[in-house]
């Protein structure tokens, strides 16, 4: 098959979930004999036309200069180019705002498969108008795609209830992780194994970072809290300013080396996951693979992934309470159960095979 992957900020991944999906799926598709093209913005730091046998198609973006207009232009130009090329499958990783342009390409050779991602219209960083637009693009994605993929069973139920649309449940995957070979990652950051809390997230309100850090401050815990993620957003700058006088909170910026991130998660005392707007977040699955003891924001999406193998919080008070409890009896059973689930469900080879099964079904119908 000739497969195009759209809807990302390019590979190699230096941003987030859809990019991780593209980065891991595309080499497996390629290894299994398929022709794969990943669309990337012209601002991406990787300037090559080929990455691990994957064709890179660079498209005008300039989001850093044009903001949302740059994003709109990028999504439209990617979709237009893909529909003018002889692809069999166009895999769209997300529907905001690219689904605005789906009706323009109803007549097409390629089958359009959309991973609906999370409930983007719930993101509090957007104003009322943008949230309404996001809800509308969700409808367009459901209406004009040839097949829908839900990365979380709660999203699958939502699509059926809201739009009457069946979807294929295909989660994100995670690379297997082994125990860190040494403590270099700890020495670099003056940390001790089991002696710190951490989180990894985009600095946005819906990821509940402020709730987590307020709980940490409230707990009076002595061990440091490591916050991984770019602080260049407005919310990120606010968080840095708010906790400036709390020396134990360390904002270390973005880290994109998977081995280092995995080692840091492995050696943390507790890993906090505050994402709340839906879908399966890749950093959560990666935390499970990294043997992290997880405390997650209490919502149906996180509970679908973790089930009973995590602690949950809904407020800063809950976070503080968790930091004051002894979790030693539950820890090993939680970690073992999550490792089994990663191997059986969140496995990149199985995830790729499920995608290819959907593609083949669509082409057989054609």
CA distance 86 to 108: 10
For residues 139 and 190, membership in a common domain is answered with no
Does residue 207 belong to any structural domain of this protein?
A: yes
Question: Closest Cα to residue 41, out of 19, 26, 57?
Answer: 57
**Which domain, by its residues, includes 145?**
2-173+347-365
Q: What is the pLDDT of residues 13-31, one digit of tens each?
A: 766 678 888 999 999 999 9
Q: What is the pLDDT of residue 94?
A: 77
CA distance 92 to 293: 33
For residues 138 and 210, membership in a common domain is answered with no
**CATH code for the domain in which residue 197 is found:** 3.40.50.2000
CA distance 78 to 42: 11
Total structural domains within the chain: 2
pLDDT confidence band for 64 (50 / 70 / 90): confident
For residues 126 and 230, membership in a common domain is answered with no
pLDDT confidence band for 125 (50 / 70 / 90): low
Question: DSSP secondary-structure letter at 200?
Answer: E
Give DSSP secondary structure letters for 116-168: --S-GGG-TTS-HHHHHHHHHHHHHHHHH-SEEEESSHHHHHHHHHHH----E
Q: What is the pLDDT of residue 99?
A: 81
Q: How far is CA 158 from the centre of its chain?
A: 19
Does residue 316 belong to any structural domain of this protein?
A: yes
For residues 87 and 128, membership in a common domain is answered with yes
Virtual torsion, Cα 189, 191, 194, 200, nearest 10 deg = -30
349 touches 342 (CB < 8 A) = no
Give DSSP secondary structure letters for 296-308: EE-SHHHHHHHTT
For residues 209 and 151, membership in a common domain is answered with no
Strand order of the sheet with strand 35-41? 50-51, 54-59, 35-41, 2-6, 89-93, 111-115, 147-150, 168-169
For residues 339 and 352, membership in a common domain is answered with no
What percent of the chain lies above the pLDDT cut of 90?
62
Q: Write b or e for each residue in 343-361: b if 16 or more Cβ atoms lie within 10 A of its Cβ, otherwise e.
A: eebbbbeebbeebbebbee
For residues 110 and 205, membership in a common domain is answered with no
CA distance 331 to 309: 9
What percent of the chain lies above the pLDDT cut of 70?
95
For residues 136 and 203, membership in a common domain is answered with no
Q: What is the pLDDT of residue 147?
A: 94
């Amino acid at each position: 098959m000739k497969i195009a992957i759209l809807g990302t900020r390019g590979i190699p991944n230096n941003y987030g979930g859809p990019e991780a999906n593209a980065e891991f799926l595309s080499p497996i598709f390629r290894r299994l004999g398929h022709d794969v093209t990943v669309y990337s913005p012209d601002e991406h730091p990787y300037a090559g036309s080929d990455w691990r046998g994957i064709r890179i198609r660079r498209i005008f973006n300039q989001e850093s200069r044009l903001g949302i207009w740059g994003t709109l232009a990028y999504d439209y130009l990617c979709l237009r180019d893909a529909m003018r090329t002889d692809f069999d499958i166009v895999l769209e990783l997300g529907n905001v705002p690219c689904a605005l342009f789906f009706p323009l390409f109803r007549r097409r050779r390629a089958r359009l498969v959309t991973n609906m991602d999370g409930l983007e219209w719930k993101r509090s960083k957007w104003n009322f108008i943008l949230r309404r637009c996001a809800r509308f693009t969700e409808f367009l994605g459901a209406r004009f795609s040839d097949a829908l993929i839900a990365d979380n069973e709660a999203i699958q139920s939502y699509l059926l209830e809201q739009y009457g649309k069946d979807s294929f449940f295909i989660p994100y995957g995670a690379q297997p992780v082994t125990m860190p070979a040494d403590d270099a990652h700890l020495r670099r950051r003056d940390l001790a194994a089991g002696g710190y809390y951490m989180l990894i997230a985009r600095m946005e309100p819906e990821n509940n970072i402020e709730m987590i850090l307020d709980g940490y401050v409230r707990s009076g815990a002595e061990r440091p809290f490591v916050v991984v993620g770019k602080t260049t957003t407005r919310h990120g700058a606010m968080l840095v300013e708010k906790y400036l006088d709390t020396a134990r909170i360390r904002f270390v910026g973005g880290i994109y080396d998977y081995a280092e991130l995995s080692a840091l998660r492995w050696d943390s005392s507790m890993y906090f996951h505050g994402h709340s707007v839906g879908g399966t977040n890749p950093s959560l699955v990666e935390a499970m693979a990294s043997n992290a003891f997880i405390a997650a924001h209490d919502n149906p999406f996180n509970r679908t992934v973790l089930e009973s193998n995590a602690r949950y919080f809904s407020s800063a008070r809950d976070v503080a309470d968790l930091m004051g409890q002894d979790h030693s009896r539950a820890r090993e059973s939680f970690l073992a159960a999550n490792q089994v689930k990663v191997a059986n469900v969140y496995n990149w080879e199985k995830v790729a095979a499920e995608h290819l099964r959907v593609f083949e079904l669509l082409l057989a119908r054609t």
